[in-house]
Amino acid sequence: MPSPDTSPSHIDSSTVTAVLKRVIAENGRDHIWGYAIAIVCLVIVALSTSFTAWIMKSVIDEAFANRRADVVWIICLSIFVAFVLRGFAGYIQAVTLSKIGNNIVARYQRRLYAHLMTLSVGFFTEARSARIAAQVSQNVSGIRDVLNLTVTSTARDMLTFVSLLGVMVYQDPLLSCAVLVLAPPLLLALRYLSKRLRQVTKESIHLNSHVLGAMQETIQGISIVKAFTMEAELERKINKIIAAAEGRSNKIARLSERNAPMTESFAGLAVASVLAYAAYRAIYNNVPPGAFFSFVTALLLAYDPARRLAKLQVQMERAAVNARMIYELLDMQPRQRDLPDAKPLVVTEARIELRDVAFAYGNDDVLNGVNFVAEGGKTTALVGPSGAGKSTIINLIPRFYDPKSGQIMIDGQDIAHVTKQSLREQLAYVSQQPYLFEGSIRDNIRYGRPTATDAEIEEAARLAYAHDFILAQPEGYDTPVGENGVTLSGGQRQRLSIARALVRNAPILLLDEATSALDTESEAAVQKALDEAMTGRTVVVIAHRLSTVVRADKIVVMQQGRVVEEGNHEALAQRRDGLYARLNNLQRPAASDTN
């Protein structure tokens, strides 16, 4: 839905219609039989309701005016049957609609997840991930509600209302006119309320995602929070947001329920005037009471569907706001696609070459004309002050982002012209923060290569010095890790992520060495695991450990998005005034002191 303004405040009836059309187009066909059953049931509900109102005239007249016991008996039986029918039809309708609704929710959840997978890495760092999470969990129901509201309100409430209105007009046209004159002002008042509600609903959704986001940040950074004793300050801040969100939600409740007192008073007025008029006619004109009772029954029964119909616009808009947020997400285009002429990457030596690569996140230039070669089967270490652009280079090689200009070549092929799938299959990546996913240890290693056998997984774990600690876990390789699993130490997690990279058996390894300190024993094990992972591969490593740098075949020294020096450790350390020599001395204060 390419609407120019996508903020929820701009939801108007045309947007609601557009969303409704799309929801129906995408779901209507698959559930057409379910909806047909539901609609038939709703028609039965509507008709049996009006039937009970209509038959009241006969009950009263036959019982009180004509005193026909035999007829009254049949009429009462028919009322009973009407109620039974109504009960069953209502049940079938509710179950059918719920089933369809649940199916729609599940389907959109699947679709959203699959779609999120296609979006580029850049999307997730820019967009607030909490907002996405909130959208996925809360707003999918909007699509279900849009459909179900349409079906129930048109089929049941509309039909019930119209047929009851028919009964009313049939039984007493004059009174019906009086009621209808009173209705329009009420509807106008309701319209005004619904407009106010739209605005606060939007604000509330915004505030709620703010709350979620702030909480998520706190949870992720809990060690920083504690270390800097930020608890009180953060709590004060978040309490303010929570209070604002609570206020908004209360306002929504007030506004959406405000029409209750209004319609209630209106109904009271209507019933009282009708009764007065009927009493007057009975007393002075001797009109039999049957028609009047039937009319009042219809009026009272019409109240509920009328109230629901009055609320319909508000509910529909709320559902449409939610549904549209889902569509906004689904309509987001993956920013990078494979070029039409993209070919699979063919790796021979796995030689990586950066030619004049420039890159910017947004408008800030991060890399300016970067040139270097990472030779096949050799280790190239990236060093330099933080912010120099080292991680950015690591992000460009798997094409998480594309360079602004220049090329990255692997074995003579420009990676912009190969398929991303084939490119990433040739890469293994070990990040600074080892990330484990929901599942067992075995699953987590197998993510490296889904076709790996159990034997290959154990072999990788051995090479990564993880086998022994894995066997010591309660269920060995089947021990669950991730959010709901066992807690592993930082070093153990790192070794698992190295095992994952090893099992992938890719010719190129991208490595962001962990800066966080591990205990000496873990450190040694991780180092040995990394050595294993690095042998025989083209490695591009953001090096933080001196030992890695010293042993690298080539060191690329970066500063402010440029390569300032290149060479091996001995050569670079010789250049007294070079950046590398200075950095090197910083890392070895004792050595520089003795100079």
Question: Which residues contact ligand ADP by CB under 6 A?
Answer: 125, 361, 366, 384, 386-392
Round to whole Å and give the CA distance between 382 and 397: 14
Whether 513 and 545 have beta carbons less than 8 Å apart is answered as yes
CB 185 within 8 A of CB 333: no
Measured CA to CA, the distance from residue 331 to residue 17 in angstroms comes to 18
Secondary structure letter of residue 153 according to DSSP: I
CB 119 to ligand ADP: min, Å: 14
Nearer to ligand ADP (CB atom), residue 16 or residue 382: 382
Question: Among 106, 529, 108, 41, which residue's Cα sits nearest to residue 330?
Answer: 108
- Concatenate the DSSP letters of all residues of 471-532 into one string: HTSTTGGG-EESTTS----HHHHHHHHHHHHHHHT-SEEEEE---S---HHHHHHHHHHHHH
Q: Least distance from C-beta 382 to ligand ADP, angstroms?
A: 8
Q: Which helix (H) or strand (E) holds 542?
A: strand 538-542
If we measure between CA atoms, which residue out of 571, 573, 566 comes closest to residue 588?
573
Residue 286: CB atoms within 10 Å:
7
390 vs 399 by CB, closer to ligand ADP: 390
Q: Residue with structure tokens 């509201």?
A: 149
Return the DSSP state at 418.
Answer: B
**DSSP string over 56-103:** HHHHHIIIIII--HHHHHHHHHHHHHHHHHHHHHHHHHHHHHHHHHHH
Contact yes or no for 393/354 (Cβ under 8 A):
yes
Evaluate whether 545 touches 537 at the Cβ level (below 8 Å). Answer: no
Rounded Cα–Cα distance for residues 195 and 172 (Å): 36
Measured CA to CA, the distance from residue 45 to residue 126 in angstroms comes to 51
Instruction: Give the C-alpha distances (Å, rounded to integers) separating 229 from 89, 222, 233, 336, 404.
Output: 61, 10, 8, 42, 42
In the complex, the smallest distance separating the C-beta of residue 584 from ligand ADP, rounded to whole angstroms, is 17
Q: How far is the CB of 391 from ligand ADP (least distance, A)?
A: 3
- Give min distance, CB of 384 to ligand ADP, in A: 6
Which residue type does 469 have?
F
Output 263 or 559, the one with its CB closest to ligand ADP: 559
The token duo for 425 is: 């299959």
Residue number, 125 or 250, with CB nearest to ligand ADP: 125
Residue nearer to ligand ADP on the CB measure, 190 or 366:
366
CB of 394 to ligand ADP, least distance (A): 8
**Closest CB 377 distance from ligand ADP, rounded Å:** 24
- Provide the token pair at 16: 């609601």
Give the nearer residue to ligand ADP in terms of CB position, either 126 or 414. 126
Nearer to ligand ADP, 311 or 390 (CB): 390
97, 38 Cβ separation under 8 angstroms: yes
Q: Which residue, 366 or 499, has its beta carbon nearer to ligand ADP? A: 366
Q: Smallest distance from the beta carbon of 540 to ligand ADP, in angstroms?
A: 12
User: Least separation, in Å, of the C-beta of 361 and ligand ADP?
Assistant: 3
Question: Based on CB atoms, which residue is closest to ligand ADP, 323 or 542?
Answer: 542
The least distance separating ligand ADP from the CB of residue 470, rounded to whole angstroms, comes to 31
For ligand ADP, the closer of residues 122 and 247 by Cβ is: 122
Least distance to ligand ADP, CB of residue 362, Å: 6
Closer to ligand ADP at the Cβ: 45 or 543? Answer: 543
